[in-house]
Amino acid sequence: MNILDKIVIDKRKEVTLRKNLIPIKQLEQSVLFERETVSLANNLRNSKSGIIAEHKRRSPSKSVINNTLNVQDVASGYENAGVCGMSVLTDGKYFGGSLDDLLTARASCNLPLLRKEFIIDQYQLLEAKAYGADVILLIAAILTKAEIKQFSEFAKNLKLDVLLEVHNEEELHKSIMPSLDMLGVNNRNLKTFDVSLETSKTLSQLIPDDFVKVSESGISNIEAIKELQPYGYQGFLIGENFMKTDNPGQSATQFIKNLEP
């Protein structure tokens, strides 16, 4: 069993628990549920850098990345740096994140926020909306075509942007549908954790132009972005690169400055 399978098994248990604790009605009564969302896809279309900066404490492949920073500083730092959006990991067991991180980020900045999570249930989309997210992530590797359709259409009804993540051609073919805004190519093989930008290059030709193309994982320098831009990528998700420093906001500021001379 690979790490992704393990995460999904744990996630199913976790979501069942949460559903019993917090009824849907309660989520829908959240103050943030009526909030006007901000489109990450639009931000990426109109940006020169296309940076989506991530808040991530640890990961299964790297263990601890940074446990000392508070979300508030990271979020306001990223906003000052001029990033297009912020990704907030909300998985606790494997990534050390929580929905409270999303709430704190929402209170600290006006950036579009992506709830980075392993979504396997419609309930998690209501949570995302109730905790201030603007965008949700769907991972093709853990969902059927029917689930991708159901979840993405439900998200659009909630006025949330949808970023769908694929790793290979097979996942891409089952995923292309009008209810998506962005197609993300993860350069990390979730089974082996190997990273290669070739994945983004190969799949780029198969992604229709109606979708904003996003490249994820393994983007640690400006060269990587310059290499991928000619392939039509407008979004670049960067996590570890900023988070492993003492001041992610400052690192992002410097990165964007060097990218847009």
Positions marked active-site: 54, 56, 116, 165, 186, 216-217
- Do residues 215 and 185 make contact, with C-beta atoms less than 8 angstroms apart? yes
Cα end-to-end span (Å), the chain: 46
Distance CA 213, CA 227 (A): 14
Distance CA 56, CA 66 (A): 7
- Do residues 233 and 213 make contact, with C-beta atoms less than 8 angstroms apart? yes
